[in-house]
Amino acid sequence: MSHIPLINSLLQNELSAVAAYQQALNKFRKETALGEMDVLMCSFEEHKAAVFSLQGKIQQLGGTVVQDSGAWGTWAQIVIVCANLLGKQAALKALREGELTGLEEYEKALQDHELPTEIRGLLETKLLPAQQRHMRTLDSLLNAVMA
């Protein structure tokens, strides 16, 4: 069975994450403490690396790489709307919701017992731990904003 559709779905989530973080970074650049920008930038860069890794796996398997975030693109739009209308806390919450969705998608993908070893390894050692890190980061940023 081909796992390309599954990997492309994970890739779409990562593309959406890149877009969402890009929007958040653009919005907060002027009004965010330097430490927060560094933390958000780190998550942004890790999502970009995840896109690159997933694209590489799809190409190795001979598949066609999706070019856009598809339905996931709405996540980025929600972050933009929250940031513009409701401010930093709402945007951080929207980012966190997206990260949670991504985390659940990776965990669901790992339930597939026929998942190729190299894909499983990428998810277990790199992408899932990064997703968990992003969740913790956003939790601490939210706690700071709400304090």
How many folded domains does the chain comprise? 1
Closest CA to 13 of 60, 74, 61: 74
Which region holds residue 87: left if phi is over 0, alpha if psi is between -120 and 50, else beta?
left
At 48, phi and psi to the nearest 5? Answer: -65, -40
CATH of the domain at 71: 1.20.1260.10
In this prediction the pTM is: 0.87
Average pLDDT, the chain: 85
Residue 127 carries which DSSP code? Answer: I
pLDDT tens-place string over residues 24-60 = 888 777 666 656 778 889 999 999 999 999 999 999 9
> Structural domain of residue 64, as residue ranges?
4-146
**Is it the case that residue 1 has pLDDT exceeding 60?**
no
